[in-house]
Amino acid sequence: MLPVSRTQAVRYRLAVNHLSGRLPAGSYVDAAYAGLQDTAPRDALLGLHARVADCEPAAWEHQDLIQTYSPRRAVYVLPRADFGIFTVGHLPRDPAALRAVQDRADRASRELAAQPQPARRLPGDRAVCATGRFVVRWTTSSLEVWEQPPPSIDPETARIELARRHVHAFGPTTPAAFAWWAGVSPPDARQTFEAIRPELIAVDYEGHPSWILAADETAVRTAEPVRGVRLVVASDQRLFGHDRARLFVGPGLPVHTTVHDTFHPNGLIIDGSIAGAWGRRAGRVSVRTTGPVPAAVRRAIRDEAERMPIPGAAVTVSLTEHAAR
C-alpha cells in the first residue's frame, strides 16, 4: 500500500479544504463543498473567511447556500444545489429505520403546518432533516425550521456522493470515520464504501489501513508545505486528526494544545501546524500562541483576526504568547 505520513495527510487536507490558499472572492459554494459546521455563533461564516478572499459579513446567507441539520444533526451551511446530498445521503438503508424517520418527518410536517416555526417545535429529533424536507435558519438569536419539497435525488446516489466528498476532504480515512462524520450506522458506512471501492486506493496511514480517492493520489503524494497564518474554527481542526489516535476525523478530545480551553476552542494555524488557540465574544478576539512568534507572524495573526467579517462588530484583538513547553 502507498505509505502516507501524518504530515502529508494534513498538507493535503488543508489544501483541498482551501485553507492553504484562499479562493477568489465570492467562491462560497466551492468553500462549502464538504459543508461548514455552524454550531457556535457564526462558525460557518468564519470558516468561509478562512477559505475565501474578501469574505463579506452576509456570506453565510448567500443565495447559493442553505442551512439544515447535517451531518451528525448539527447545524451546517451547505451548497443549495447539493442539499439532497447532505440530507438524503444520511437516510438509513434498513427499511424499518427508514420508515421510522419518514413517520417522524410526517409528524413534523403536521406540526409545522406549512409555516416557519421555532426549531424547538420540530417533533421527534433532528434526524427528520435527512428526508430533505426541512430547512433551518439560525441567526444566533433565533432558530427557525420550515418544510420544503424534498430533493429529487436518489438516496443511493446521495449516499455515494456524500462518501466521495468525505474521502476527498478528509482522506486518508476509513468507513468508521465516515460513519461518525456523516452520522450514519457503521454497516451503512461500510456498504457505501464498498459501492465506491473502484474509485479508492488503499493506503498505509501511519500504520493504519485507510483510503483515499484514486483521483487524489497525485495530490496526496505531492502535497506541499503550507505557509502563512489561518484562524480556523474548532470543527476545522478535525483536518489534523480529531479521533483518539489524532489521525482521522471522529470522536476524541477537542483540546489540541496546552493553550486550548473552553473560551479558546479554535485553532491558530502557523505554517500548517496548530500553534495556538483563539476565541471571541462578539468582536473581541483573543489569541494565544504555544510559544514566542516572530514579529511578522504577530502582524499576520492580527491581520487575520481584524479582517474577520463579524456582523455589526468592530474587531479588537488581544494576543498572548505563552512560553514554549
Question: So where are the chain's domains?
Answer: 229-321
pLDDT at 117: 75
Whether residue 223 is predicted with pLDDT greater than 90 in this model: the reply is yes
Provide the pLDDT confidence category of residue 324 given band limits of 50, 70 and 90.
low
Whether residue 90 is predicted with pLDDT greater than 60 in this model: the reply is yes
Rounded mean pLDDT, 118-130: 75
Which run of H or E residues covers position 78? Answer: strand 75-79
Mean pLDDT rounded to a whole number for the chain: 92
Query: Which of 96-100, 108-112, 271-275, 294-298 has the least mean pLDDT?
Result: 108-112
Alpha-carbon gap, residue 301 to 297, rounded angstroms: 6
Tens digit of pLDDT for each residue in 155-188?
Answer: 999 999 999 999 999 999 999 999 999 999 999 9
Beta pairing, strands 75-79 & 208-213: unpaired
pLDDT at 303: 94
pLDDT at 300: 95
Alpha-carbon gap, residue 3 to 207, rounded angstroms: 8
Separation in Å, CA 128 to CA 88, 120, 125, 258: 10, 13, 7, 39
pLDDT at 123: 56
Helix (H/G/I), strand (E/B), else coil: 213: strand
pLDDT at 58: 94
Rounded mean pLDDT, 224-253: 92
Tens digit of pLDDT for each residue in 241-265?
Answer: 999 889 999 888 778 899 999 999 9
Q: What is the number of other CB atoms lying within 10 angstroms of the CB of residue 64?
A: 11
pLDDT at 66: 96
With b for 16 or more beta-carbon neighbours within 10 A and e for fewer, the 234-246 pattern comes to bbbbbbbbbbeee
Whether residue 121 is predicted with pLDDT greater than 80 in this model: the reply is no
Does 157 or 144 have the greater pLDDT score? 157
Rg of the chain (C-alpha set): 20
DSSP string, 272-307: TEEEEEEEEETTEEEEEESS---HHHHHHHHHHHHT
pLDDT at 139: 84
Provide the pLDDT confidence category of residue 311 given band limits of 50, 70 and 90.
confident
pLDDT at 192: 98
311: Cα within 13 Å, side-chain hemisphere: 13
pLDDT at 8: 97
Q: What percent of the chain has pLDDT over 70?
A: 97
Q: Walk across the sheet containing 208-213 and list its strands.
A: 2-4, 200-205, 208-213
Provide the pLDDT confidence category of residue 20 given band limits of 50, 70 and 90.
very high
Rounded mean pLDDT, 225-238: 95
